[in-house]
């Protein structure tokens, strides 16, 4: 048995369905009473069905008429139903009252079904909000305590136990675990995280306990940005829907005028009786209403946005979901987009006297004292080797670095820098280095200065030797030797080449790469990936100009980037796409679409989703217009009555709504 409060909650959540159910119950009772000849009971029960089923539509219709001075489809339905009832009372053909009640009932059922359909879409979107925690377990004064998320401060240390949700974006300071990031980034497999890695609010911790340090305010977390953007997408109306709404306002006036003409002219032109003219005019109001046309777009777009969010593709509004399906050219930023943006050691080439490990250990020893990205890449590559940090380190900005390792001086830097210490660089390494640089890689030379060799002694002018001769003490001269070279590069994303290939198969006419790097490096990456056109050595404003030129040539152009310097181009592009995890806040705010997992293959998924959305919207519009035309023809030919017209009209509305919900499936 339902308690009163539960009953109240149930009726509140399912108000439209309850109203339709009660309306149907009174309609059935009224029809049954009329069938048994109890006219009084029928005339009492049927108006109740009208009021219960049509109250909400009448209220909305009158509100729109009074406040906005616009005719609403809901009001047209009520007018048609009341007209049928009035005609039935006038002619004493009481089945027409039943027809009007059936119209209201079907309209109420349709509204309830549309409401449930839209709730399903909204639930898919709002499921993001369920990922947010209300509290976090914080270590303060040596004790753990639960505090509200909004009270967290930058620098707080947070404890996350196995199986718990990460409460806010933070950096791991202690512990190791795997995190399920599927809800945020769309990645299907858990991701390993350890000290120094960033974790995101709403991701699920695996088997390891973690201690996190808050490095930004909770409201700046990735999930909170996503929620704000999704809410924005729900409230913004795309151009196609705006057009349909403008069309609907004008179309409603046309329907009313046409309905009046259909009421007045046929009795004079075709000798219809007035009852027939009134009935056909009322049926016309029903079948000509553009409900299905109004439902052809927004349910589809919202379903597409929800689908994208589940895949880690965040569309900021429906307009961009439509636009991405029309893209003909795509411009990619290089660093951080087509490449990882992280420098890595890709080759170690020693001289014949040394091994690769010798070269890496010597380089890591001095570079461990450097904050230069090249040095950090070398240290990372030597993580599993046994070496000790250099002492007496001296850096020469833009040139190299020198330090003492086991009483030996070690050099790392450019060839010109090493030449100051080594008379002749090995010719074979010089050739290899040139080839590596042609491939866009940075070459670091490693050399070591050993003490030994040289003259044993010199006669004359020194101390008195054993036999009385003047003899200098032994002089050990320093000898410099090149250990080898290390090639470092910003590595290309593993999926970049395949993504570009698939985009071309999908019909993208031009793939362009934009970068501030030198032409040689850019062309090397472009050849590896199969990019059609390269623009190198660009400033942010240069990227903007390139996008404008591409738009003149291809009209609809997408730009994919991650950095602050990409923001002007992202804003100018027809569709701006930002890399979510690696992207700067400015890029994320400027872009129209955000790839939450930094996975380039999601661009193809976004374009496919956009094309599929376009196709479904066109199908829905065709279905809606087709039903209207068929019902209008049937009405003029006298082949349909009011209930059949209602079934056809409302059925087409429900059909296109359900058609749009197909996008909820991957």
How many whole angstroms separate alpha carbon 332 and alpha carbon 351?
39
The gap between the terminal CA atoms of the chain, to the nearest Å, is: 40
Q: Kindly tell me the sign of the dihedral angle through the C-alpha atoms of 174, 178, 179, 185.
A: positive
Say if CB 165 and CB 131 are below 8 A apart.
Answer: yes
For 589, the token pair is: 């705010």
Q: Which residues are catalytically annotated? A: 333
Strands 459-464 and 470-471: antiparallel
Say if CB 331 and CB 583 are below 8 A apart.
Answer: no
For 54, the token pair is: 């049509």
How many whole angstroms separate alpha carbon 187 and alpha carbon 598?
10
Say if CB 403 and CB 415 are below 8 A apart.
Answer: no
How many whole angstroms separate alpha carbon 182 and alpha carbon 188?
5
Q: Running DSSP on this structure, what letter comes out for residue 516?
A: S
- List C-alpha distances in Å: 65 to 73, 252, 580: 11, 12, 45
Q: Kindly tell me the sign of the dihedral angle through the C-alpha atoms of 528, 531, 533, 538.
A: negative
For 339, the token pair is: 């490449």
Say if CB 205 and CB 183 are below 8 A apart.
Answer: no
The backbone torsions φ and ψ at residue 551, rounded to the nearest 5 degrees and listed phi first, read: -65, -35
Strands 313-315 and 329-333: unpaired
Say if CB 441 and CB 433 are below 8 A apart.
Answer: no
The residue length of the chain stands at 666
For 81, the token pair is: 């139903």
User: What HEC string does 391-414 produce?
Assistant: EEEEEECCCEEEEEECCEEEEEEC
In this structure, the number of other CB atoms found within 10 A of the CB of residue 613 comes to 26
**Of 586, 639, 628, residue with least CA distance to 251:** 628
**Of 606, 610, 604, 575, residue with least CA distance to 591:** 575
In this structure, the number of other CB atoms found within 10 A of the CB of residue 510 comes to 16
How many whole angstroms separate alpha carbon 43 and alpha carbon 30?
7
For 502, the token pair is: 């698939």
The backbone torsions φ and ψ at residue 202, rounded to the nearest 5 degrees and listed phi first, read: 90, -10
Q: What angle do CA 532, 533, 538 make, to 5 degrees?
A: 150
The full DSSP string for 252-306 is HHHHHHHHHHHHHHHHHHT---HHHHHHHHHHHHHHT--HHHHTTTHHHHHHHHH
Q: Running DSSP on this structure, what letter comes out for residue 586?
A: H
Say if CB 490 and CB 339 are below 8 A apart.
Answer: yes
Instruction: Count Cα neighbours of 296 within 13 Å in the Cβ-side half-sphere.
Output: 27
User: What 3-state DSSP class applies to 137?
Assistant: strand
Q: Encode 156-176: b = buried (16+ Cβ within 10 Å), e = exposed.
A: bbbbbeeeebbbbbbebeebe
């Amino acid at each position: 048995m339902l308690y009163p409060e539960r009953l109240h909650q149930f009726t509140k959540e399912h108000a439209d369905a309850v109203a339709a159910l009660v309306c149907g119950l009174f309609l059935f009772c009224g029809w049954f009473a009329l069938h048994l000849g109890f006219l009084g009971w029928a005339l009492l029960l049927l108006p109740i069905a009208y009021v219960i089923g049509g109250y909400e539509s009448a209220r909305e219709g009158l509100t729109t008429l009074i406040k906005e001075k616009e005719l609403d489809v809901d009001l047209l339905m009520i007018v048609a139903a009341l007209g049928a009832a009035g005609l039935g009372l006038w002619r004493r053909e009481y089945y027409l009252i039943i027809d009007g009640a059936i119209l209201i009932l079907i309209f109420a059922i349709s509204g309830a079904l549309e409401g449930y359909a839209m709730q399903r879409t909204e639930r898919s979107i709002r499921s993001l909000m369920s990922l947010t925690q209300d509290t976090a377990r914080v270590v303060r004064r040596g004790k753990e305590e639960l505090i509200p998320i909004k009270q967290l401060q930058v620098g707080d240390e947070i404890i996350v136990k196995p199986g718990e949700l990460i409460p806010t974006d933070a950096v791991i300071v202690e512990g190791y675990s795997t995190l399920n990031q599927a809800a945020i980034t769309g990645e299907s497999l858990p991701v390993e995280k350890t000290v120094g890695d960033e974790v995101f609010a709403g991701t699920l911790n695996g088997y390891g306990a973690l201690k996190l340090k808050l490095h930004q305010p909770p409201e700046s977390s990735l999930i909170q940005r996503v929620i704000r953007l999704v809410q924005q997408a729900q409230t913004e109306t795309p151009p196609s829907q705006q057009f349909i709404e403008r069309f609907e306002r004008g179309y409603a006036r046309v329907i009313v005028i046409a309905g009046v003409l259909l009421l007045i002219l046929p009795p004079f032109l075709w000798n219809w009786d007035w009852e027939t003219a009134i009935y056909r005019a009322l049926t016309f109001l029903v079948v000509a209403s553009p409900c299905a046309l109004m439902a052809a777009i927004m349910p589809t777009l919202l379903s597409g946005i929800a689908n994208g969010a589940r895949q880690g593709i965040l569309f900021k509004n429906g307009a961009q979901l439509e636009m991405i399906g029309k893209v003909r050219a795509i411009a990619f930023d290089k660093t951080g987009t087509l490449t990882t943006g992280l420098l890595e050691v890709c080759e170690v080439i020693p001289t014949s006297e040394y091994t690769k490990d010798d070269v890496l250990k010597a380089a890591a020893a001095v570079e461990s004292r450097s904050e230069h990205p090249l040095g950090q890449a070398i240290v990372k590559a030597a993580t599993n080797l046994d070496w000790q940090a250099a002492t007496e380190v001296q850096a020469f900005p833009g040139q190299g670095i020198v330090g003492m390792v086991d009483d030996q001086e070690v050099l790392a830097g450019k060839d010109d820098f090493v030449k100051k210490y080594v008379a002749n660089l090995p010719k074979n390494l010089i050739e290899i280095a040139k080839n590596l640089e042609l491939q866009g890689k940075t070459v670091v030379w490693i050399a070591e200065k050993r003490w030994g060799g040289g003259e044993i002694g010199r006669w004359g002018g020194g101390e008195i030797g054993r036999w009385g001769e003047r003899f200098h003490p032994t002089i050990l001269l320093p000898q410099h030797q090149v250990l080898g070279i290390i090639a470092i590069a910003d590595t290309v994303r593993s999926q970049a080449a395949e993504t570009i290939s698939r985009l071309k198969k999908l019909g993208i006419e031009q793939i362009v790469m934009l970068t501030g790097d030198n032409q040689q490096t850019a062309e090397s990456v472009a050849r590896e990936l199969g990019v059609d056109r390269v623009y190198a050595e660009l400033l942010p404003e240069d990227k903007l100009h390139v996008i404008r030129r591409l738009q003149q040539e291809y009209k609809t152009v997408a730009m994919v980037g991650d950095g602050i310097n990409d923001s002007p181009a992202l804003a100018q592009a027809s569709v701006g796409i930002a890399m979510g995890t690696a992207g700067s806040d400015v890029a994320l705010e400027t872009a129209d679409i955000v790839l939450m997992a930094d996975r380039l293959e999601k661009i193809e998924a976004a374009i496919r989703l956009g094309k599929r959305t376009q196709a479904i919207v066109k199908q829905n519009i065709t279905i809606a217009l087709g039903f209207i035309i068929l019902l209008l023809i049937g009405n003029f030919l006298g082949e349909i009555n009011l209930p059949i017209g209602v079934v056809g009209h409302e059925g087409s509305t429900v059909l296109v709504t359900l058609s749009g919900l197909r996008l909820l499936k991957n």
